[in-house]
Amino acid sequence: MKKINHAIIGAGLAGLACANRLQAAGQSVEVFEKARGAGGRLSSRHRLNTTFDLGCQQLNAATPEFSQALQLWQKKSWVASHDQQTFYGLPRMSGLTRQLSKHLTLHLSTRIVGLHKKATGWWLEDEQGQQFGPYQQVTLATPVAQALPLIANHSAGLNQQLAPAEHSPCWVAYFVLPDKLAVARSDAANNAHSSHLRRWTLLNTKPAQQENVQKWVVEASVEWSKKHQDLTSQQVAQKLFALWCNDAALTIPKPPLLLEAHRWLYAFTAQSLGVAYLQDLTKGLNVCGDYCLANHLNHPLSYQAEAAWLSGDKLGQQLTKAMQ
């Protein structure tokens, strides 16, 4: 097999799936990630000596491919499940992406701001003006709005094909309550009643997250998130907490031990493309991510991580096949 240099921009589930396929086939792969850790929307945040899954809460499979991946990860203790239907990263969601990135060459805290095609191949430029290359193949595994500016000057074809894809935002509040307070655990998950809330999750119900305080994550609906897009995170945290208290029919006598909010600008696929990935074969440019497939899987809207993994994995297989 011919061995060539691949660059992947984005260390979310899609980018990591693609990178692992290529590396397993003996290709040379480097992954560039603007955040301090891998994971993308499977990331977790550290606060008060504990962690919060801020994005993806659970993994579910509609396809045999992803189901097999989940079984394999379960055997390796990278995920766990109470019922073999819904899986959780161990010890938190980002635990899975830490494992998936463990043997890869990762450039963290490296935001790619430009792609340059030279005689030697593709060169990537980061915010500091540092150049990386040359690569024969570049894959954009970012939300579509973050991929478009990078390929704008390089592939009219990809620009056009990507145009319909879109993500919608989601505000998330996370808070800590003393253990004895709050809602019975059986009543805890996926139980949002208000149309302003999409879902609330008691993180302690997940495997390996039992603690002596209650850790909650409340997701606002897409409509509410859009309407309140420009508020500060403090304002949003207060508002979502009040909505949650109302939903859970609770009066909390003391303020939470922690109350913060995070805005995901590109949270869920609003419009997906219906293809696993896109390629500009003449340029050596490739695109993958949840938005390629998300709304085309037989899934509720919240189950989009599978689409990300499938997209990256299938692109990795295709790039490998092309080398044979």
Q: Is 89 an interacting residue with respect to ligand FAD (CB under 6 A)?
A: no
Of 196, 199, 201, 206, whose CA–CA distance to 182 is shortest?
A: 201
Q: Does 177 bind ligand FAD (CB under 6 A)?
A: no
* 3-class secondary-structure state, position 179: coil
Please tell me the distance from the alpha carbon of residue 58 to that of residue 209, in angstroms, as a whole number.
Answer: 13
Could you tell me the end-to-end alpha-carbon distance of the chain, in angstroms, rounded to an integer? 5
Q: What is the C-alpha separation between 246 and 63, in angstroms, rounded? A: 37
Q: Binder to ligand FAD among 155, 264, 280, 319 (CB under 6 A)?
A: 264
- Using CB under 6 A as the binding rule, whether residue 21 contacts ligand FAD is answered as no
20 binds ligand FAD (CB under 6 A): no
CB of 2 to ligand FAD, least distance (A): 27
- Burial (CB count <10 Å: 0-12, 13-18, 19+), residue 269: buried
Alpha carbon 80 to chain centroid, angstroms: 18
Question: Which of 8, 13, 287, 293 is close enough to bind ligand FAD by CB under 6 A?
Answer: 13
Instruction: Select the residue interacting with ligand FAD from 29, 222, 267, 278 (CB under 6 A).
Output: 267
From 54-62, 223-231, 236-244, 316-324, give the range in contact with ligand FAD by CB under 6 A.
54-62
Q: Which alpha helices (DSSP H) does the chain contain, by range?
A: 13-24, 64-75, 93-101, 144-151, 156-162, 222-227, 233-247, 290-293, 305-322
Query: Residue 185 corresponds to which amino acid?
Result: R
Here's the x/- map for ligand FAD, 137-176, by CB under 6 A: it reads as: ----xxx--x-----------------------x-x----
Binder of ligand FAD out of 11, 90, 100, 319 (CB under 6 A): 11
- Which residues make Cβ contacts (< 8 Å) with residue 111, sequence separation at least 6? 34, 126, 127
Lookup: tokens for 232:
């500060």
Among 7, 9, 248, 293, binds ligand FAD (CB under 6 A): 9
> Closer CB to ligand FAD, residue 22 or residue 254?
22
Contacts with ligand FAD by CB under 6 A lie at 9-15, 32-35, 40-42, 55-59, 111-112, 141-143, 146, 170, 172, 219, 264, 267-268, 289-290, 302-306, 308
